[in-house]
Structure 1
Amino acid sequence: MLDDMLISLDMANRIEVIKMILNKHNKPSLRFFDKFQKVILTHDKGFYNILKNYTNANSWQYYNLSKKENTNEAPKLRNDRSHIEKAQKFLADGEFDSCGNELRKELEAILKNYTDPDFSKDFRPLSERLESAYKKFTQNERRNFEKLFVNKDISVETLKKIETDYQTDGTLSDDDKRKLDIIKRELNRYIISQYEVQESKDALFADLKTILDRILNPSSHSSTTPLYERELEEAIVTIGKIKALLQT
């Protein structure tokens, strides 16, 4: 697919077309797209970056096709490495400032994709976007709780009996007891998962704030702050963790 037909659309509508082609919402009426191999070509770098954010590197491959001007040389096709891959290469080569710069770009892309999936013109500082991501993740946790427990087809009076030996309660129907069993089981799972996520989430966002101040900001500006290999290695791991957390 060439992007020619999309260039005349504004970015919001381009994104909607891409969502349809990729069937991001798994609509039954669009599943026929899933049967095709998709090749998308574009000369618009901004649109290309959006496509990368809407696709998965495990199932897509990204290439850059380029040609030197005013020569008869054939165009060259090369793999387009991610910011993380570039950061790892710079780290291996001892180019620590360049490594930090690529890590900053990777974190910006992760947070922008999470807090602003429709890619509006939002140019907030990275520190503010990090705070927005934390708030959004916390709000989503609350919504997930409501989906699991608040909207159940069960009365409040029946729900209160979850603290009792409701299996021997003759006033409850078998269906009510089954619903209470399900809610109790889901509640236990939810509490355990929240303890695990809460502990790792808070530590992860705290680490990212430190990385932002200690590594990402100095590497993107003129600074006398030295960068160390171990710090950059840990930053690569931490940014990988936040990407995995926000994609769940």
Structure 2
Amino acid sequence: MPHLNLTRALTAGVLTLVASQALAHGDVAPQAVDTTGLPAIEGDWLTENPYRAEKVGEETWQRAIEIGASGYNQNCARCHGLEVVSGGLAPDLRFLEAEEYGDEWYVERFREGYTQNGITKMPAFGELLGQEAAWAIRTYIEARPDEGALDDFAEELKAMRDQMEGYIADASGADTEALKTRLTEISAQIETASGAPVADSVAYRAANLIDGSAEAFKSASEVLTIGLSAAH
């Protein structure tokens, strides 16, 4: 059904905002975001995310996710939840489709904020943070894995994590290419909640970290440990 995810997210969000007596978004003072490394956006506000991989390439897309994660954690996580998993205070933005109509809803709220019955539920971020930060945060949000997307691979990823931990002391016997290939295969099967083509999953992150060095295996194993813990 067209726009099902968007409708579900927005309906749930509106009902929550109406019913909630908890702290509002308005209590959050916008924090500036360092967007160094992203292509500049000039002129009027865009209505479609310019930092998707098919438009700017995977390297810039990854940089947008990195910056977006920082910006989200500083400005959005308090209400929308860590890793964009809402606790019910605000809409679960993972379900906002990675399409132009989802982008339009997002950027309007980002720029203008949201007020209900004279109470600021969400401050206006647009003027302070600007377009680069806005679209980096959007890129991070839409790349979140779907609910339960790691479940089918959790045990295998734990085994791979344990294997990589064994290579921290001595990586000489590691089959780096086999590990990287399998992590890449797993990451390709992990879907996003937004419909974006690639999920910024722990499998994807780990695959891009390992290079055969002990330090890389340490970093990748830590990513898997943290990600698998957060997923359960």
Same fold at TM > 0.5: no
Normalised TM-score (structure 2): 0.27
Normalised TM-score (structure 1): 0.26
More helix as a share of residues: 1
- Determine which structure has more spread, i.e. the larger CA radius of gyration: 1
